[in-house]
Amino acid sequence: MAPNVFRIPLPLPGDTLRAVNVYLLLEANSAVLIDSGQFLEVARKQLEQSLGLVGVEVGDVSEFLITHIHRDHYTQAVALRREFKSRVRIGIGEKSSFEIIERRIETSFERQFGLLSACGADDLYKEARVFSRGDDEIAKLYERPDDWLYEGMALQIGGRTLDVVATPGHTRGHVVFHDREAKLLFAGDHVLPHITPSIALEADRPPLPLGDYLGSLAKVRQLPDARLLPAHGPVIESGHLRIDQLITHHDLRLRQTYDALGDRRCSVYEVAHILKWTRRLRDLSEMDLFNKMLATFETKYHLDLLVAMGMVIVAEEESILTYSKSGRAYDVSLR
């Protein structure tokens, strides 16, 4: 990718994303990985093999810098730390999700998917039980990091300086790492080349995650342009270009979501059925269960942002949220 920076795609069998990129920073006396891959035998083997090509062993990795809490980024670091005592760091914003996982006040399933009922998607909620996993199993994968990363930290990795930039949205504690000198942005799932990242699929969901996400896009757009090294998919030469596309997408999506309300009161699920999905403009009913859920949440976050902007009002009827236009003229522009 650049001198002493290597991209290592690790497999995610059964996942439509297919692979997660971890990045090796190789310095004279250290090997650091940005993201770790998922705790899976095939991922471990691939990591060993790829590191071997540059003469590094897994045990030589002294530190893992993790962009966010999702299992395909974090859980292999936890497993390797048990063996090799490597240091693991992740954004402080993820702390509350760790606490929920540890305290088990509610099952993670309820936390993640209970919202579907309020969206009027009870059928999805019932079907979604297939994603319910034992809380003990999840807690085992999610031991805490050694240290937290904070906005504005400058990490010294050999001769390299990485600025930590907090980018909440994909998850609360998502961070990206910016190497100003080498003009590289290790973007995790904040900016992806082929898809719009999912928003707030996490144990501790914030009140207005799309607002957070758009704020984070604007923030990274203000940094000097850099080569974008994403956690899924190929490298993009201009991060700015892709950020502009994502902002345009959400701008259009807000308008479509508003228009879908027509003159009625609608549940989130009803609006999600009116909207078209993916580049192929599919109906919601054509999508698989997991993507139906993501689409329903995505719709809710767009509606909630329209509420915050005063374009839409929300009410609750028999514990289902319903949305309607507020009567104000539409004047939302993200650009």
| Closer residue to Zn ion, CB minimum distance, 70 or 89 | 70
Residues making contact with Zn ion (CB under 5 A)? 70, 189
Tell me how far apart the alpha carbons of residues 295 and 313 are, in angstroms, rounded to a whole number.
21
Instruction: Output the smallest distance, CB 257 to Zn ion, in A.
Output: 23
Q: Return the amino acid letter for 71.
A: R
| Closer residue to Zn ion, CB minimum distance, 187 or 266 | 187
Residue 255 is encoded by which pair of tokens?
């308008």
| Closer residue to Zn ion, CB minimum distance, 143 or 189 | 189
| Closer residue to Zn ion, CB minimum distance, 189 or 298 | 189
**DSSP of 118-184:** HTT-HHHHHHGGGG---HHHHHHHTPPPSEEE-TT-EEEETTEEEEEEE-TTSSTT-EEEEETTTTE
The closest alpha carbon to 124, from 113, 111, 132, 133, belongs to 113
Output the residue with the shortest Cβ distance to Zn ion: 70
91, containing H or E segment = strand 87-91
Instruction: Output the smallest distance, CB 135 to Zn ion, in A.
Output: 20
What is the CA 316 to chain-centroid distance, rounded?
29
Q: Count the alpha carbons within 13 Å of 331 in the hemisphere toward its beta carbon.
A: 4
Tell me how far apart the alpha carbons of residues 161 and 153 are, in angstroms, rounded to a whole number.
10
| Closer residue to Zn ion, CB minimum distance, 160 or 190 | 190
Instruction: Output the smallest distance, CB 263 to Zn ion, in A.
Output: 37
| Closer residue to Zn ion, CB minimum distance, 17 or 247 | 17
Tell me how far apart the alpha carbons of residues 120 and 124 are, in angstroms, rounded to a whole number.
9
Instruction: Output the smallest distance, CB 158 to Zn ion, in A.
Output: 27
Instruction: Output the smallest distance, CB 121 to Zn ion, in A.
Output: 22
Instruction: Output the smallest distance, CB 132 to Zn ion, in A.
Output: 19
| Closer residue to Zn ion, CB minimum distance, 70 or 172 | 70
What is the CA 247 to chain-centroid distance, rounded?
16
Residue 176 is encoded by which pair of tokens?
């990206």
Instruction: Output the smallest distance, CB 199 to Zn ion, in A.
Output: 10
